[in-house]
Structure 1
Amino acid sequence: MTRRFHPALAAGLLACLTLSGFEAVSAQENEAVMPLPASREELADRLTEAGLSAAGVNAIVAVARDGIVLDTKVADEAQLPLGATKIGGLPDLPRGTAWPMRPAYDGAETLTAQFNADAANLYADAGMAPPWMPQTEGEAFLATRKRANDEAMAATLKIMRESGAEVDEKDVAGITGLPPEAAAKAAAEQRLLAENVARPFPLPFIAQVDLSSLSNQPGFDKALPATGRLLFFYDMPVLPASHEPRANAGWKLIHDDRPVTELERKPLPKALADFPGAASLKAAAVAPRPVVTTVPVGDAGWDAVGEIDGNDTALYSQWLFSLGWPTADGGGNHQLGGWPRAIQAGMQATSQLAANGLDAGSGETFQTEAGKRLLSGAGQWHLVLQIGTDTATSYPFPGALYVLMREEDLAARNFDRAWVVYEQD
């Protein structure tokens, strides 16, 4: 599954420490994020100001792509027209079309075991034995977990001291996890997920894009269809691991070209309404804004840039940080088409391997003959939609969703072959 973390332990530790050695990182994160350029001329000027040579600027601008940022604001969904672009809320599907469901995940028993293990750890990190375990087993599990946490804490403190951080051990004493009540609630959600991965479940609705109204606006990515609507559904409770081939059960991208008069707004399925965790987004209206996007460094698409000076590459990489990630507080985190604002490297390679049945979570896969053969085509994966952090929709995760398709599949309108990568910063 996707990378998991215990936010209470990490957040509590960072909040209680005086980490002088990490102040520069925090300051950088707090700097104002620059908006994406609105034109290629603006892009060239900003890259020049960043110190790139004329050749470097020309190389980056040459492979820039048009895109549309989907700015949002809280909306009364009843006031939004059927078929309109929106993030969250309820989907507008043709009458008689069922809400998309996912099947049970392949190898669900391993996912069930992982979620149950996460639930047990949440209890133990809060100083409680998991209540479903016999007393002796639960106490032993609690003691083992405590030792592991103590060892991890000691190792973390050692690294911080060695890096020059100022650490007061009294400030971190007793930080082990969520408060008991919150831990029990979070563990109950994990236990429910352990059951849900082994059975069909409705997919949460994420976004709807009216391509017909956007295709004649500046910034529209011509690789996308010019008519109809895109509807994106994604398994938010599970967050399927992008690198695993079985993850594709956890999303659905629909291209609907029916007339608006045939649409109806679907009610939220009971299973999603009753789910105790994050299973739906609030409706947000969208204002489109044309932008020019640039290629990320460290993925297959970078090959399109060609040979540029190493100093230009370093300066460009630094310049990309000024754009921030689609997890910033300032908005502008959703995007239609263009190049993605990648948080990590390798989403094209991950998509190419996993979509072809290879687990991209292991470095060994990249070294196999099959992996190398597939990676030669990784640059064909094209961003369709990017969904990031958004207070208007109450998007709950510290990361972004990237919906990608091969350019040949986009041209053939094979939307069932989309791949979704979740990245977090």
Structure 2
Amino acid sequence: MFDTPADAQAQLAQHFARPQVERVVAALVPTLVFRPLPTGKGSLGGTRIGGTPDLPPGLTWPRRAKPADAEAIAKRGNAEAGEELRRHFRKELPYAFFAQVDLGEAQGQARGRAQGLAKELAKGLAKGSAKGEGGPAAALPGHGRLLFFYDLVAGPWDNGTESARVIWDESPREGLAPQTMPADLAAAADAHRAEIAKINRPFKRPLPKPDSGTPYGGPARPMSLHATLRPPAIESLEMDARPALKAALALRTDGGERFRDAYQDLFSKAFDSDYGTANAGRRNQLVGSPLPEQSGPRVEAEVVSRFGVQHLERDKIEAHRAETDAGARTWRLLLQIDIGDFLQEDGEGTVYFLIRASDLAERRFDRVVAVYQQT
């Protein structure tokens, strides 16, 4: 959103009073965002969203086995959705491939951000702002690739570890080979497009293109990573860590309400799909503070991990609020992907890949929890 604290100060001054600008700049959170590369500019092992991964010999595309609680998951939807989930689980398809992240590129951007902030701090331009020592990707491995897979058919009904697979591939780039989509996954994608065409044809609506996105995969798009600074969402844990800013946004006076409205408007225009399809891609990010569609996704990750349920009832929320909130602070965002942007078609929701800080330090990517949210 902002390249530097000085850039943030200049832009925010157009919307807020000086004390408000200072509070927002002090709360800026470093993150890495994706920017599309021109067609044909992708590289073997490079960062991309959608398409297929580059894998070394011996590493196969992960496949989801039928879950032990398949019937419980199916019952979370209505009758039609439940039957679709049962059919889906019986097929035991591979996961949809979501993204490939070049960790060397991520670390390079992180170091560049840290060095840039250090220079601004030395000049006094970034006083009080998020310093981001080591950069936003400092906790990630420094080499190889992270490969993100997700079950987009069942995942929205099934927050947890089983709806996603995240693999850290450390193999040398020269040993990689581009993959083709597994035959049964490709067949499912073709069947989905055929069903959409059958529905659209009588109404003379556009028919799906042969490479259009489906729940089984999105179009291949090479990306580059860029370090940026974002103010925290009002509902985020990072906002909780800035009590002065949170209090100013909560003021019931006219000035406070105007500040809150302007702050929310800033977010809406930057990230909400209601302001145009270009905003969908702006929600995609690596690490940093999540952009929630509902409550904080880290709270949902803690709930499903601690209690083994998708959501807590209201009385249990209050009874366990302290421990749940404390646990949520131990989770870190790895990747956030906007579904509409992933599909490059109509689609709703955001998928968050989250990991506990201790598991990230131990490189236990098998413990990643996927959380789906939709407004």
Asked if these proteins are the same fold (TM beyond 0.5), I'd say yes
Name the counterpart of 1:51: 16
Name the counterpart of 2:355: 405
Residue from 311, 315, 323 that aligns with 2:270: 323
Post-superposition CA distance 1:58-95 (Å, at most 9, x none): 3433332222221225745xx74321111111111221
Structure 2: any 5+ residue segments left out of the alignment? Answer: 114-134, 193-213
Partner SS state of residue 409, structure 1: helix
Matches of 2:17 and 2:368 in 1, distance apart? 35
Matches of 1:286 and 1:100 in 2, distance apart? 23
Check whether the contact 2:73–2:157 (CA below 8 A) recurs between aligned residues: no
Check whether the contact 1:59–1:306 (CA below 8 A) recurs between aligned residues: no
Residue from 107, 113, 120 that aligns with 1:215: 107
Q: RMSD in angstroms over aligned alpha carbons?
A: 2.8
Residues 1:366 and 2:317 aligned together: yes
Structure 1: any 5+ residue segments left out of the alignment? Answer: 1-35, 120-189
Residues 1:289 and 2:226 aligned together: yes
Residue from 302, 310, 317 that aligns with 2:239: 302
Check whether the contact 1:72–1:284 (CA below 8 A) recurs between aligned residues: yes
- How far the C-alpha of 1:206 sits from its partner, in A, is 0.6
Partner SS state of residue 350, structure 2: strand
Partner SS state of residue 222, structure 2: strand
Partner SS state of residue 329, structure 2: helix
Name the counterpart of 1:334: 284
Equivalent residue letter for 2:161: N
Residue from 62, 69, 81 that aligns with 2:26: 62
Matches of 1:65 and 1:230 in 2, distance apart? 22
- How far the C-alpha of 1:322 sits from its partner, in A, is 2.9
Matches of 2:157 and 2:342 in 1, distance apart? 26
Matches of 2:283 and 2:233 in 1, distance apart? 16
- How far the C-alpha of 1:195 sits from its partner, in A, is 2.2
Specify the structure having the higher radius of gyration (Cα). 1
Equivalent residue letter for 1:304: A
Matches of 1:105 and 1:405 in 2, distance apart? 21
Alignment of 1:216-231 (within 5 A): 216-217=108-109, 218-219=112-113, 221=136, 222-231=138-147
Partner SS state of residue 217, structure 2: coil
Equivalent residue letter for 2:27: V
Name the counterpart of 1:346: 296
- How far the C-alpha of 1:410 sits from its partner, in A, is 2.2
User: Cα–Cα, structure 1 residues 48 and 379, in superposed 2: closer, same or farther, change >3 Å?
Assistant: farther
- How far the C-alpha of 1:234 sits from its partner, in A, is 0.3
TM-score (normalised: structure 1) = 0.66
Check whether the contact 2:105–2:225 (CA below 8 A) recurs between aligned residues: no
Alignment of 1:4-403 (within 5 A): 36-52=1-17, 54=19, 56-72=20-36, 75=39, 80-113=42-75, 117-118=79-80, 191-198=83-90, 200-217=92-109, 218-219=112-113, 221=136, 222-241=138-157, 244=159, 247-275=160-188, 276-277=191-192, 278=214, 279-307=216-244, 308-309=247-248, 310=251, 311=256, 312-313=259-260, 315-325=262-272, 328-330=276-278, 331-362=281-312, 363-369=314-320, 372-389=322-339, 394=344, 396-403=346-353
- How far the C-alpha of 1:301 sits from its partner, in A, is 3.0
- How far the C-alpha of 1:304 sits from its partner, in A, is 0.9
Size of the alignment, in residue pairs?
A: 313
Check whether the contact 2:95–2:149 (CA below 8 A) recurs between aligned residues: yes
Partner SS state of residue 288, structure 2: coil
Check whether the contact 2:45–2:54 (CA below 8 A) recurs between aligned residues: yes
- How far the C-alpha of 1:378 sits from its partner, in A, is 1.2
Check whether the contact 1:293–1:340 (CA below 8 A) recurs between aligned residues: no
- How far the C-alpha of 1:101 sits from its partner, in A, is 1.4
Matches of 1:272 and 1:50 in 2, distance apart? 48
- How far the C-alpha of 1:116 sits from its partner, in A, is 7.5
Partner SS state of residue 322, structure 1: helix
Partner SS state of residue 359, structure 1: coil
Partner SS state of residue 356, structure 1: helix
Equivalent residue letter for 1:273: A
Post-superposition CA distance 1:160-192 (Å, at most 9, x none): xxxxxxxxxxxxxxxxxxxxxxxxxxxxxx745
- How far the C-alpha of 1:100 sits from its partner, in A, is 0.6
Partner SS state of residue 30, structure 2: strand
Matches of 2:142 and 2:272 in 1, distance apart? 28
Q: Which runs of 4+ in 1 moved over 4 A?
A: 113-116, 312-315, 389-393
Q: What is the percentage of aligned positions where both structures have the same residue?
A: 27
